Structure 1
Amino acid sequence: MGALLATSTLMLSVYTIVETTNYGWTSAHTVSFGAAALALLLAFVARQAKAAHPLLPLRVFRSRNVWGAMGIQALMVAGMFSFQFLCVLYLQKVLGFDETHTGLGIFPVSVAIGAMSLGLSPKLIARFGPRAVLLPGLSLITAGLAALGRVPAGGIYVVDVLPALLPLGIGFGLAMPSLATLAMSAATPQDSGIASGMFNTMQQIGSVFGLAILSTLAASHTDALLAGGASTTSALTGGYHLAFRIGSGLVTVALLLAATLLRSPATAQRPAAEKEPVAESATR
């Protein structure tokens, strides 16, 4: 029952968002289906609170670091999807890139994420703590998305696009390992598997809602610009600008939440070598 309620909530929510292009955000259709999705979500929570063997034990969310990291991750991924989907469309439909050149154009982001995640991020987290690494990572993502929100219709990849993509890759490579560390460090051994699964699930939820919301808003704004007499290229660019800026706003909210909600894990106990003098003095 819990899985059915969760799946139904997500499907109905995404359907409601996507259909706003046909019915509008304040229409009876949108409001009624949105209310139904909210009712399903509340039913899921109620079911998890009462079930003997819940799909998602609510005790997992007693830790501020756990639910805070998951919420921040959802916002971050939702914002990043304005890049992953719409930047590809910008390269193809506005700059005229083919599939090969589009893939090569996005490739630096993957390289930066891999280099940060596998190389520098673990060392920085061990040295400064995950929260101290997360904040500049989110700041870089915010800056990169804001820069994409200003790319011109006649942009040049090396001048206008690449300088925005590199902060996205570096920031995501810093932020994701930091969030995972914060979420898992606060989970009890009993709930570590559930917390890990929920952390991965929140990434998928953030991407689904981010894609649905941002692509819908971009398409609606593009249609409005076309109706106002703008050229196809200018209208598409304007729609992408709106999505990138909203994505930057989502990550900005994530940054503010990270700065106010999250706390670095408690420092480990001092090494035994540091404790020996105290023990020796106590025996004398």
Structure 2
Amino acid sequence: MSFYTSLNGMKNAQTSLGVISHNIANSETFGFKRSRTEFSELVAGSALSNPRMIQGIGASVKSITQNFSLGPVEQTGSALDLAITGDGFFTTRSAIDGSTLYTRAGSFTLSGAGNIVDSSGNRLQLFPVDANGQITGNTLSDANLPTQNAAGAEFVGVTIDEVGVVSASYADGSTDPVGAVALATFISPTGLKKVGQANWEGTGLSGAATYGAAGSGAYGSLLSGSLERSNVDIAEELVGLITAQRNFQANAKAIDTATQISQTVINLRS
């Protein structure tokens, strides 16, 4: 029994080491959210067991829980670098299969087609707006900046304000609102599924996305010219790394001790 109890402990410590290593590896990844490993106790007993004699049989990994606390904000000066001050997520459309992705990494650029995209080519989603920048509907569409305005003037730049209104500037001095950045929130963000590149997908555990504009409710305002860094605390992760290593060593020592006891019993002579 003690062999398998300690073996499970070693496997759990190894899982914890893997999670911590992943956190440390992504300490410089914009929009990354750290995870922690949670364990639960295992016991063996029945309805007829004496509750004072029920024996524990180790632990198992209960969950690997994501931490969505806000990371440090770094100023970059680029108009298309965006940071969210609240709980919202940027909504993007996958360039590969058209699926909807959510991210906190706001490093966007302009594509050759005039779309606002992330480093993987996923297209930022906007709400439609009128000429005054007021949202006119909740249908999401790709952020696309026309290369010319109605007067034929060439595109020269883009700005995004704190409520997410994207405005294109043209050579004749005019500015045209293109749309408003659509932010998403979830009733249970820890249920979101990681898909890499600091992107998540909605699941049944996270609940359906609720969309809204920046500057309202829990969505948070936008900071143009800034990026949210990883929320990994290196000092905290290193302490966790040492703890997980000691846990692994202690379980290994328990197996070694159980082996010695078994060997002693086997060597007993009458």
Q: Same fold (TM over 0.5)?
A: no
Q: When you count strand as a share of all residues, which structure comes out higher? A: 2
Q: When you count helix as a share of all residues, which structure comes out higher? A: 1
Structure ID, larger Rg: 2
Question: TM (normalized to structure 1)?
Answer: 0.22
